Chain A
Amino acid sequence: MSAKHNTFADLVRIEQLRNIETGQAEDLSYASIADMDSHTTNDFKYSVFLHRLGTRAKRLVQENKLASTLLQPQKLFTRASLICLICAAILGALAAGNAISASTTLNIYWLLAVLLGFNLLSILLWIIGITFDLQGLSKGVAAQLASWLPYRHKQNNTVASIAIHSWWESCLTGTIGKWRISVLTHKFWLAYLTAGMILLILLMLAKQYNFIWGTTLLPESSLPKLTQILGKPIQYIGLSIPDSHQIAGSRIGAAKQDAQTRSAWAKFLIGILLLYGLLPRLGLLAISLLMQRWAEDNFKLDLYLPYYIELRQRLMTRKIKARVIDADLQADTKQTDHLSPSAGNTVPPNTQAFGIELNDQIVWPESTAAHWNIVDQASLAGAIDIVKKIDGPLLIGVAIHRLPDRGVQRMIQELVASATQQPWLILLQEQSVTPVANARKLAWFRLAEACNIPAEHVITQ
């Protein structure tokens, strides 16, 4: 079977179904997957299992018309994200608008502070949060509030609420959630900065502004110095920045600005916003998107959960590959037992005892005199010689716990054939008596019958 790779969306859908089946299984219909349980395989393969899980989920979703319910959380999130971005754009525009006083002056450092200052602070918090895995810092308050919402206690779980909760768990928590929220955060700030910058450009296109700056706490030279430092990278790409005269001439309360100064400040402002605002955010957005993609590609179902274990047994029944290559032609003619083991016979007097393959743990009845243990061909030949010469009855001892096989049967047959009187068979036990199954006793009685020893000549202890 070709195991197609499941996408992240497929896995989320499987997880959503897991939660729905765990909580509200009675609401689902399973007719479309009835035939899936019979699938057998030689070896278990995770990729095949995942593929089958995906197929099962698709069928269940189709049968129970769950597609829109399962997609609803994603739609809600997209909608919420859009609202966030619109809010960010409005905030950015308002911030930029605020920097322009009622008249025709534009406060440069106020503008940089509201557009880039907060942005910088947010970037720093995000970097610290990501580096030290502090979700509280990297997520932001709004995102934390959003991730808390699904934890609200619900009295009645519905399929839709479980689907939302499950989507939230898969997409907004853990590593995936961290990067998804990061993407949203960066988009938020991009919208904020872009809106602010566009508004500024539009205003500067439509009206003539004088650029001003001023400070209450900082030394007089600090802001001109900062302008020089911030402007250096812009100069490298060929754009001009205000020179020291132009900067000095823009101090609040200074004389009227010329067109060249205004143009230099405008270029400086747009360059700074692009270089220190939009470009880093775009870079971080790209990184976050890549990381989100990477985390989604690495998302794995917790296949050790009871739900998946049960499905694994149902969807991936193992079947062994076996065949008979040298058949038993008498397989149908199995003998039936008509024997019943009798007990209580006692050892007749003057018997000559011979044991078959006995170990030293075997206990003979006290009434039996010296006995011979047959363990090999030589001892069998020796025993047969003796049996031929004895007058009294022959007593053959076997260990009851051992299995009578054709080899033992042949030995007994040879002894019986040499005996002059009707032989006896005694089923001996070891010192430490262990219970013997009735089937084992019956097997010895069958052997006795095959060796022409009547059942009443079989002694059990």
Chain B
Amino acid sequence: MNNPSASDPSALLNIAVVGHTNTGKTSLIRTLLRSTDFGVIEDAAGTTRHVEQATISADNEPILNLHDTPGLEDSMALFSHLEKLSKQSKTLSAIQALESFVANITNNDPLEQEAKVIRQVLRSHVLLYIIDVREPVLEKYHIELVILSKSSKPIIPVFNFIAEHTQELTRWREQLASFNIHTALEFDTVAFTFEAEKRLYQKIQTLVESYYSQLQKLIDYRAEIWNQLCLSGAKRVAELIVCVACHRESKNTKENKMENTLAANKLQDFIRQAEQHCLKDLLSIFNFSEKDVALQKIPVSNGQWQLDIFAPGILKSYGLDAGSAALKGAAAGAGIDLMVGGLSLGAASALGAIAGASWSTFKRYGEEIKATVQGTQWLCADENTLRVLYLRQQQLLEKLVHRGHAALNTVQVEAPDTEKLPEDWTELTNILRQNPAWQEASASRNNDNQYQEIEAKLVSTLLGNN
């Protein structure tokens, strides 16, 4: 396979991102770079007035250069100018007309920005033409495509802001088909999916055959990194659920209201802090800034959830039955369940009978046996609290995974409510509650088959929704 960059490192694949002003060119590059540090995004025309290059690497090997260009604001004037040039010299080919235009442009010329675009177009191997599908299909966009096609470079139209604009997307597709352009791609910089990014690189692969192997390396590398990222997020949420479900606050069986309230408050604080820590980690894993949080409409302010996990009404907002907790004798949303040590003694005896005089029985059930003898009870997070905790993290993860880097004025599309609990949720949380030793990560916990099964279930449900 031909590998141009192997012999010459400067011969990387050059991709120009072009389009009308404010269609999301910089946003697309930011999304591909997974960074908000690139370029400037503003709700105004002509925000990008220079050509900026960013390199995308796979495993520290540079693969391609992306070029952000100013918007084509006045394609009609540019088209007339090129027509004039062609008329002046009839021997000029289309590409020569473009070259003549960029060579003779002066500073402060009204078409100076367009000249920068064309200059970069002529230097590139592939053009990504970004379309804001919310815009009406106008002649000027057609003209932009006509001008770009004069460069004889392969063009991939990229539909941006497609979420909830299906009709507009169809209209654009029909219009492009009438220009005999069928290679268009859907890539929403607001509601990002990794699949779209993969398809983008695959489309480029088919158009520039000589860079096939490098692009394949990039696709594979990106897929690996993406899976790792999603898995990191899901595992972090699973860790939170395990940590909270396994946590116990001991309580004296003697009725002492003050002491019991303190224990309940202590438990609630523990859950709040654990969730807070998880939120911080998730934002950190996905490299989310304060700006991103606001953009994605995550109900978080100053790095904290806006709605407390024990706030009244939170159960309802996650479609949970508030009455079920009341039936258990605990106030809805209080997040407290009482667990008596003797409850698990039956299981301990059964296991003890099987394992004989094994120390593992004492290791596992020692605390329970001691509690039964001493008459200690435990407080632990109730079923509904665990459910809310899980669903809230799942929703957050969904938003983080689909984070794009679109401009600030874009209307964020709310992610559909597809959150669901894993199968056998109740059984799963019951097992966790019976294993307080799992609260902290350890090799023995991670090697435990039952723990591995529970973690796998949580992770697969979390990722299954994404």
A-to-B contact residues, CB < 8 Å:
41-45, 135-136, 141, 144-145, 147-148, 151, 153, 169-170, 173-177, 302, 304-306, 309-310, 313, 318-331, 357, 359, 375-377, 402-407, 410, 434, 437, 439-440, 443
What total count of A-B pairs have CB within 8 Å? 166
A443 adjacent to B45 (CB under 8 Å) = yes
| B135 contacts across to A, CB distance below 8 A | 402
| Contacts known (A325-B67, A407-B140); A309 close to B236, Cβ less than 8 A | yes
Tell whether B107 is near chain A: CB-to-CB under 8 Å.
Answer: yes
Q: Which of A45, A174, A306, A357 lies at the interface centre, i.e. has the most chain B CB atoms within 10 A of its CB?
A: A306
A324 adjacent to B284 (CB under 8 Å) = no
Known pairs A319-B37, A324-B51, A376-B140; list 19 more (Cβ under 8 Å). A141-B357, A144-B359, A147-B359, A148-B362, A169-B443, A174-B443, A175-B447, A305-B441, A309-B285, A320-B33, A320-B54, A324-B50, A325-B120, A402-B135, A403-B21, A405-B22, A405-B71, A406-B45, A410-B77
Tell whether B110 is near chain A: CB-to-CB under 8 Å.
Answer: yes
A327 adjacent to B50 (CB under 8 Å) = yes
| A45 contacts across to B, CB distance below 8 A | 59-60
Closest to B113 in A: A406
Shortest CB–CB separation between residue A130 and chain B, in angstroms? 15
A322 adjacent to B54 (CB under 8 Å) = yes
B75 adjacent to A326 (CB under 8 Å) = no
Q: How far is the CA of A144 from the CA of B363 in the complex (A)?
A: 9
Q: How far is the CA of A148 from the CA of B43 in the complex (A)?
A: 63
| B116 contacts across to A, CB distance below 8 A | 326
Contact of A325 (CB < 8 Å), options: B35, B52, B77: B52
B446 adjacent to A302 (CB under 8 Å) = yes
| A42 contacts across to B, CB distance below 8 A | 57, 60
Q: Which of B67, B278, B358, B446 lies at the interface centre, i.e. has the most chain A CB atoms within 10 A of its CB?
A: B358
Q: Which of B60, B120, B236, B366 lies at the interface centre, i.e. has the most chain A CB atoms within 10 A of its CB?
A: B60
Contact of A304 (CB < 8 Å), options: B49, B239, B356: B239
| B355 contacts across to A, CB distance below 8 A | 136
| A326 contacts across to B, CB distance below 8 A | 50-51, 116, 119-120
B284 adjacent to A310 (CB under 8 Å) = yes
Q: How far is the CA of A443 from the CA of B320 in the complex (A)?
A: 47
Residues of B38-76 contacting chain A, CB below 8 A? 38-39, 43-46, 49-55, 57-60, 62, 67, 71, 73-76
Q: How far is the CA of A398 from the CA of B423 in the complex (A)?
A: 54
Q: How far is the CA of A404 from the CA of B71 in the complex (A)?
A: 12
Shortest CB–CB separation between residue B273 and chain A, in angstroms? 12
B107 adjacent to A324 (CB under 8 Å) = no
Q: How far is the CA of A101 from the CA of B30 in the complex (A)?
A: 88
Residues of B233-259 contacting chain A, CB below 8 A? 235-236, 239
Q: How far is the CA of A434 from the CA of B57 in the complex (A)?
A: 41
| B62 contacts across to A, CB distance below 8 A | 321
Residues of B343-387 contacting chain A, CB below 8 A? 355-360, 362-363, 366-367
A43 adjacent to B442 (CB under 8 Å) = no
B20 adjacent to A328 (CB under 8 Å) = no
Interface residues on B, range: 35 or more
Q: How far is the CA of A88 from the CA of B67 in the complex (A)?
A: 73
B44 adjacent to A403 (CB under 8 Å) = yes
Q: Which of B113, B138, B356 lies at the interface centre, i.e. has the most chain A CB atoms within 10 A of its CB?
A: B138
Residues of B388-428 contacting chain A, CB below 8 A? 409, 411
B49 adjacent to A331 (CB under 8 Å) = yes
| A153 contacts across to B, CB distance below 8 A | 367
Q: How far is the CA of A430 from the CA of B33 in the complex (A)?
A: 35
Tell whether B136 is near chain A: CB-to-CB under 8 Å.
Answer: yes
| Contacts known (A323-B53, A357-B136, A403-B22); A141 close to B35, Cβ less than 8 A | no
Contact of B359 (CB < 8 Å), options: A141, A403, A405: A141
B73 adjacent to A322 (CB under 8 Å) = no
Tell whether B219 is near chain A: CB-to-CB under 8 Å.
Answer: no
Tell whether B225 is near chain A: CB-to-CB under 8 Å.
Answer: yes
Closest to A361 in B: B136
Q: How far is the CA of A327 from the CA of B21 in the complex (A)?
A: 17
B447 adjacent to A43 (CB under 8 Å) = no
Tell whether B93 is near chain A: CB-to-CB under 8 Å.
Answer: no
| Contacts known (A305-B441, A306-B236); A43 close to B60, Cβ less than 8 A | yes
B53 adjacent to A322 (CB under 8 Å) = yes
Shortest CB–CB separation between residue A454 and chain B, in angstroms? 22
- The 10 A-B pairs at the shortest CB distance, nearest first, are namely A376-B139, A326-B51, A174-B447, A328-B49, A304-B235, A173-B444, A144-B359, A406-B73, A405-B73, A407-B74
| B119 contacts across to A, CB distance below 8 A | 326
| A323 contacts across to B, CB distance below 8 A | 52-53
Q: How far is the CA of A329 from the CA of B446 in the complex (A)?
A: 59
A304 adjacent to B43 (CB under 8 Å) = no
| A173 contacts across to B, CB distance below 8 A | 442-444, 447
Tell whether B330 is near chain A: CB-to-CB under 8 Å.
Answer: no
Q: How far is the CA of A28 from the CA of B79 in the complex (A)?
A: 68
Q: Which of B51, B356, B444 lies at the interface centre, i.e. has the most chain A CB atoms within 10 A of its CB?
A: B444
B45 adjacent to A404 (CB under 8 Å) = yes
Contact of A306 (CB < 8 Å), options: B281, B360, B442: B281
Q: How far is the CA of A170 from the CA of B442 in the complex (A)?
A: 8
A439 adjacent to B43 (CB under 8 Å) = yes
A144 adjacent to B409 (CB under 8 Å) = no
| B58 contacts across to A, CB distance below 8 A | 43
A-B CB contact pairs (8 Å), 26 listed:
A42-B60, A43-B57, A43-B58, A135-B360, A136-B360, A144-B358, A145-B359, A169-B443, A173-B444, A173-B447, A177-B443, A304-B235, A305-B239, A310-B281, A323-B53, A324-B50, A327-B50, A328-B49, A359-B136, A375-B136, A376-B140, A403-B21, A405-B73, A407-B76, A407-B77, A443-B45
Contact of A170 (CB < 8 Å), options: B231, B278, B362, B443: B443
| Contacts known (A42-B60, A321-B54); A405 close to B43, Cβ less than 8 A | no
Shortest CB–CB separation between residue B300 and chain A, in angstroms? 17
Q: How far is the CA of A41 from the CA of B35 in the complex (A)?
A: 13
A443 adjacent to B51 (CB under 8 Å) = no
